[in-house]
Structure 1
Amino acid sequence: MTFRMGELFSGPGGMALGAHMAATELNVDLRHAWANDHDESTVDTYVANIPGATSDTVHFGDVRNLPIAELGSIDGFAFGFPCNDYSLVGESRGLKGDFGPLYQFGIDVLDEYEPAWFVAENVSGLRSSNGGRDFAKILRAMCDAGPGYVLTPHLYKFEEYGVPQRRHRIIIVGIRADLATAGVTFRVPKPTHPTKSDWKTVGQALTGIPAEVTNQERTRQSPTVERRLSYIDPGENAFNAKRMPEDLKLKVKGATLSQIYRRLQHDRPSYTLTGSGGGGTHGYHWKENRALTNRERARIQTFPDWFKFKGSKESVRRQVGMAVPPEGAQKVFEALFKSFAGAPYDHIEPNLAVTDATVHLASPRSLERDV
């Protein structure tokens, strides 16, 4: 079984790495065909780490200027279309924003190359954007793309799949309609770590980092930040710290985002790491008065230690925070490849459903906010 995979909005390669890990595990011949990202350092990271990727096949630049018809034939396609306008944090402009409409370039790829399958990823906030109408429009476009696709959208909670982070993302798997009619059926893989007692913790994730590993530089903290952190207990942030002296409290009106100077908890998964945000949003060690290093963030995102990120320290932080956790993606691709092989696997019902008119949540728990 051979698949040539193309990718838009590739990021540093979390989705691609997960796909290759799954292919290696199942003896699938997965071949990199091409990819694209708008950030040069991110492209450099992808080229340095993803099998088969080169500076000729990974295109740096705005997707709006990408000659899609010239990229080359593919059998599979992945695209984590930009989430900025669907995030629960921010203006949530949806399809009216600068980034919201960019999913259409993924539709253009499906129209042009008609791959056997695709995997699309976005934030959980997509489902509620514009009262759910944006999500319904995107799903309808995916269904109607090319020769037509059968979709399985699901809100994955990655902590339930072995990722030491409470990261909730919508992943939509599409199977080309003729193949679905012929019997290829994708099902949502059953969680491997379904209960809180099964979840991997940040303490486990950050144990044993080799001294020689890359991207391990520490951020210099000001004396004020170090002092502020000294009064924040694990799980607390700058606004709810019970021991915080008055002179160290933040006087920022409306800025009560729970991640600001929020310490991790050693015995629990991390809260959702992000790639954006200024001071106070970098993720903070549960014991030491400091921000996490990029390698520690990468560990929490399940990137292996051999994976070398390129670019400045701040660029790497953005890359890590915006990426799909490779081990989470691996679980999805393993199910996808088994679906094409006709191999059985444990599965569950999707918690998102597609109808002709809209998108319904199959479970009220799916409305839980990312934390």
Structure 2
Amino acid sequence: MVFHLGELFCGPGGIGWGATHAEIDNPEYKIVHQWANDYDESTCETYRHNICPNEPETVYHGDIRTFDMNVLSPIDALAFGFPCNDYSVVGEQKGMKGNFGPLYSYGVKALKKFKPKWFLAENVGGLRSANDGKAFTKILSELENAGYIITPHLYKFEEYGIPQARHRVIIIGIRKDIDVKFRVPSPAPYSKIDNTCRSAIENPPIPKDAFNNELTKQSEQVVERLKHIKPGENAFTANLPDDLKLNVKGAKISQIYKRLDPTKPSYTVTGSGGGGTHIYHWEEPRALTNRERARLQTFPDDYEFMGSKENVRKQIGMAVPCQGAKIIFEAVLKSFAGIEYEWVDANINE
């Protein structure tokens, strides 16, 4: 059974890579790319270049709010990582009241239009608390009412061997008229994987001429500041001289000038933010390169991101970890193929 996948808000292809590389013991069950859409041109270029280089016309650049879905071909499966800006704990958490909050509704619209056999929807953990929890309840209700039995779960990707503490709500829905039950794959089979950020970045070493591996220029002051920050510390927990302290009022975000702890998975790779948010090497006084950040997101080294350096940084930070997506898609395929696998009860709490 071949599932033709459509993607809204496709990003640079973390979900697309995971889907098209998902493999199970029955080779008849697989997922193939059908079409994708994103509002950012460079992101679309990245997706075309890596996921469907022979079918560039199947990636549609356009704002979903004005995009005509009638140009899209039929699909068996749908994925949509709807924009998280208004649900992120780091942001203002406007939820449904923000510009991006209501965009999930286009996923619902696509479900009603195409009636795929199953779908995957993804968002940040903060989705659960936006608008006092009402946003999450509303979204789940609309996905169910579109005709699907849904399984929402808070996936902690570091538990699945991913070298990054990244917690995401992922909802799998299977059409109600299909006699297939999805269960959340257990993290147990991945417990022996070395998922430290050191292993991810150094093993194997990144070739010096690797794509997207340019160093970020650091000011002398930033270099000096980082020299005083130990692995795992940030600008507020480190013992900094007065002239290197940050004059920041209000929230003291824990990721500001935070150096990685090489013995642990990375903290969450983000897609935007000013000085101090680029993720900092545990040993060298510098920010990570985009290629190093891509490794924390489990993109293979031959995955080439298109666009400016800052745009690529954003793409990488917005993506779903490739290997994490692959694990979930393989559980979907096993569910349809009737193959047993280790599972855990769905849970959306920390």
Equivalent runs, 1:315-330 vs 2, <5 Å: 315-330=311-326
The answer to whether the 8 Å contact 1:37/1:43 transfers is yes
**In structure 2, which of residues 271, 278, 283 is the aligned counterpart of residue 275 of structure 1?**
271
Task: Please give the secondary structure, in 1, of the residue aligned with 2:171.
Answer: strand
Normalised TM-score (structure 1): 0.91
Q: Which residue of 2 aligns with 1:206?
A: 201
Task: Please give the secondary structure, in 2, of the residue aligned with 1:206.
Answer: helix
Tell me: CA distance 1:83–1:24, structure 2 relative to 1, closer, same or farther (3 Å): same
For residue 200 of structure 1, what is the amino acid of its counterpart?
N
- Tell me the distance in 2 between the aligned counterparts of 1:53 and 1:78: 21
The farther-off stretch of 249-258 and 320-329 is 249-258
State, as a whole percentage, how many aligned pairs show the same letter: 57
- Tell me the distance in 2 between the aligned counterparts of 1:241 and 1:65: 48
For residue 293 of structure 2, what is the amino acid of its counterpart?
R
Q: Which residue of 2 aligns with 1:163?
A: 162
Q: Which residue of 2 aligns with 1:72?
A: 73
Query: How far apart are 1:20 and its partner, in Å?
Result: 1.1
- Tell me the distance in 2 between the aligned counterparts of 1:222 and 1:322: 26
The farther-off stretch of 125-134 and 7-16 is 125-134
Q: Which residue of 2 aligns with 1:32?
A: 33
The answer to whether the 8 Å contact 2:24/2:333 transfers is no
- Tell me the distance in 2 between the aligned counterparts of 1:249 and 1:69: 55
The farther-off stretch of 98-107 and 61-70 is 61-70
Task: Please give the secondary structure, in 2, of the residue aligned with 1:217.
Answer: coil
1:238 aligns with 2:235: yes
Q: Which residue of 2 aligns with 1:137?
A: 138
The answer to whether the 8 Å contact 1:160/1:193 transfers is no
- Tell me the distance in 2 between the aligned counterparts of 1:53 and 1:270: 35
Query: How far apart are 1:198 and its partner, in Å?
Result: 5.3
Equivalent runs, 1:48-197 vs 2, <5 Å: 48-51=49-52, 54-145=55-146, 148-179=147-178, 182=179, 184-192=180-188
Query: How far apart are 1:29 and its partner, in Å?
Result: 3.7
Query: How far apart are 1:132 and its partner, in Å?
Result: 1.1
The answer to whether the 8 Å contact 1:157/1:169 transfers is yes
Query: How far apart are 1:25 and its partner, in Å?
Result: 7.2
The answer to whether the 8 Å contact 2:234/2:256 transfers is yes
Task: List alignment gaps of at least 5 residues for structure 2.
Answer: none
1:337 aligns with 2:338: no
Q: Which residue of 1 aligns with 2:254?
A: 258
The answer to whether the 8 Å contact 1:26/1:334 transfers is no
Task: List alignment gaps of at least 5 residues for structure 1.
Answer: 353-365
For residue 71 of structure 1, what is the amino acid of its counterpart?
L
Normalised TM-score (structure 2): 0.96
Q: Which residue of 1 aligns with 2:17?
A: 17
For residue 200 of structure 2, what is the amino acid of its counterpart?
A
Deviation string, structure 1 residues 340-363 (Cα, Å, up to 9, x no partner): 0011111000013xxxxxxxxxxx
- Tell me the distance in 2 between the aligned counterparts of 1:263 and 1:331: 29
Tell me: CA distance 1:26–1:281, structure 2 relative to 1, closer, same or farther (3 Å): farther
The answer to whether the 8 Å contact 2:30/2:333 transfers is no
Deviation string, structure 1 residues 300-351 (Cα, Å, up to 9, x no partner): 0000001000001100000000000010001100000000001111100001
- Tell me the distance in 2 between the aligned counterparts of 1:26 and 1:266: 38
Task: Please give the secondary structure, in 1, of the residue aligned with 2:247.
Answer: coil
Q: Which residue of 1 aligns with 2:287?
A: 291
The answer to whether the 8 Å contact 1:162/1:192 transfers is no
Tell me: CA distance 1:44–1:192, structure 2 relative to 1, closer, same or farther (3 Å): farther
Matched residues, number: 347
Query: How far apart are 1:30 and its partner, in Å?
Result: 2.2
Deviation string, structure 1 residues 197-242 (Cα, Å, up to 9, x no partner): 7551011001111223101000010101000100000000011102
The answer to whether the 8 Å contact 1:5/1:77 transfers is yes
For residue 212 of structure 1, what is the amino acid of its counterpart?
D
